[in-house]
A and B are shown apart, each in its own frame.
Chain A
């Protein structure tokens, strides 16, 4: 076994050629019509079920923890759509860090003219953009059929857009962190599962965090997860006011910065950890 030193790995390819990596996710999905059909059916049924569940819960009440039925249903629908941004099937394309480490092919990431860090970034952005296309299509349909209200105000829409973008950046760095863990632990299945679970629960994907007890909301506020979903969606439905934006943005930006620095540091260490099988 010998360490690989990533010769020339820092040299980024020209923009257009490098950007083609962005399209890999969409291309691999288009080549698997079964999977695309499954995603469409799943999303439609899931949205229908979520609307049914939240409407049923509000049968005996009109408002709960400051959320009306329309707000709660709107939040739940948006959360379901936002989850699409996290669910690109990279495993099916056999291009996860874990798969490459187990097969030993991770070494090629460090031998190409495009750096591993840039390749990972472009693939992740491609995943998120592909998920965003699904979410956008779902959003338009949900608006058209009336299960989703428009943003509470123009200010709310702007606050939603800005905090949503920062939330996606946080999501990217958290995912990267678990993948980098792989270079030390060899396997990261459980870490990825725990991260997914923590993100879903603590970001308010299962239910708006407003429904949870005070101690739970305090704990969530101290962690980066809620900025990926609960914060932007709360702006959208009007549960958070645009006046709350500066404080929330500062917190989100602080998490993005901290995670960016940590993952950048880890990329440097990661290079020393890569070994070619057989030496």
Chain B
């Protein structure tokens, strides 16, 4: 237990240092916060536009669609806060910083996550949190304790699923830094297709977003369970309900893969 708290203390001190380092470039810091706000706002604007112009979103009520977007945005904001640096691993590899991390007395994965203070996450969470609060009030649902608990677990599961996806992709960064293009593309895909009922898409596409790039487990399945829209999912309701567990399992698997990948890391200079 003492080792656990000691590790947390060190991590928080690093966060404090990286936060002060970000403030050295004051304009850059505030622009990055603004970028987080802008990114999330663009998702809201796009969702609002589509909902206003095309009300027939697979038969889902507007409140339920907003809940998908809100859950994904909140879990994305928290992902950015805790895991966001894993998306940028290729930069650390190209700059040779990962080689240095191998020599320090701290797990490499944790050092990667602590490499930079995520100023943009502040903006992401500001908008994501507001959107989430609004969606919870708008959605036609009688909230019970079970709903609230499931919602919390689902958001955590969404964070872990997003972390799992980008952790797996970052294994490629270690060996092929140019693979960062896949991660940035995946960020876009999650932002574009993670906020709506996937049933509006052809079966092959929704299937790919369930099993190949499992973004359905981040918000779509949990929101379907919460709002009772599991009938037309095309998958067993039990699978949808188990989304948080799937997220946890995916993250554990991704971390094991990452550790394995790190053992074969050769560095940019061979």
Contact = CB atoms under 8 A, between A and B. Distances in A.
B42 to A, nearest CB: 5
A206 B56 contact: no
Contacts of A207: 46, 49-50
Contacts of A48: 205
**Interface size band for B:** 35 or more
Contact of B185 (A42, A52, A213): A42
Interface stretch (B1-9, B28-36, B145-153, B246-254): B28-36
Interface stretch (A57-65, A104-112, A145-153): A57-65
A191 B185 CA distance: 20
Contact of B49 (A32, A188, A198, A212): A212
Contact of B28 (A38, A64, A185): A185
A56 interface: yes
A38 B169 CA distance: 13
A38 B180 CA distance: 10
Interface string B116-137: 0001100000000000000000
A59 B181 contact: no
Interface in B1-50: 25, 27-29, 31-32, 34-35, 38-39, 42, 45-46, 49-50
A52 B192 CA distance: 13
A193 interface: yes
A251 interface: no
A187 interface: yes
Given A34-B178, A60-B54, A187-B25, A194 B46 contact: no
A254 interface: no
A46 B192 CA distance: 11
Interface in A72-117: 89, 92
B39 to A, nearest CB: 6
A49 B205 contact: yes
B220 to A, nearest CB: 15
Given A89-B181, A212-B45, A59 B38 contact: no
Interface string B215-242: 0000000000000000000000000000
Given A49-B193, A52-B201, A38 B49 contact: no
B233 to A, nearest CB: 16
Contacts of B178: 32, 34-35, 38, 89, 92
B143 interface: no
Given A56-B201, A185-B27, A189-B28, A194 B34 contact: yes
Main secondary structure of the interface of A (DSSP, over half): helix
Contacts of A42: 181-182, 185
Given A53-B201, A57-B50, A197 B181 contact: no
A35 B181 contact: yes
Contacts of B56: 59-61
Nearest to B32: A190
B201 A206 contact: no
Contact of A59 (B120, B192, B200): B200
Contacts of B105: none
A198 B34 CA distance: 12
A201 interface: yes
B53 A211 contact: yes
Interface in A167-188: 185-188
Nearest to B43: A206
B182 A38 contact: yes
Interface in B169-223: 176-179, 181-182, 185, 189, 192-193, 200-202, 205
B193 to A, nearest CB: 7
A216 interface: yes
Identify which of A58, A65, A200, A201 gathers the most chain B CB atoms within 10 Å of its CB: A201
A189 B32 contact: yes
A206 B193 CA distance: 12
A35 B180 CA distance: 9
Given A64-B53, A185-B25, A185-B28, A206 B42 contact: yes
B193 A190 contact: no
Contacts of A213: 49, 52
A200 B50 CA distance: 16
Contacts of A212: 45, 49
A166 interface: no
Contacts of B32: 189-190, 193
26 contacts: A34-B176, A34-B178, A34-B179, A35-B181, A42-B185, A52-B205, A53-B200, A57-B50, A64-B54, A65-B53, A89-B178, A92-B177, A185-B28, A186-B25, A190-B34, A191-B28, A194-B34, A194-B35, A194-B38, A197-B35, A197-B38, A198-B38, A206-B42, A206-B192, A211-B50, A216-B45
Given A42-B185, A49-B193, A207-B50, 11 more contacts: A38-B178, A42-B181, A42-B182, A49-B205, A53-B193, A57-B54, A89-B181, A190-B32, A194-B31, A201-B45, A206-B46
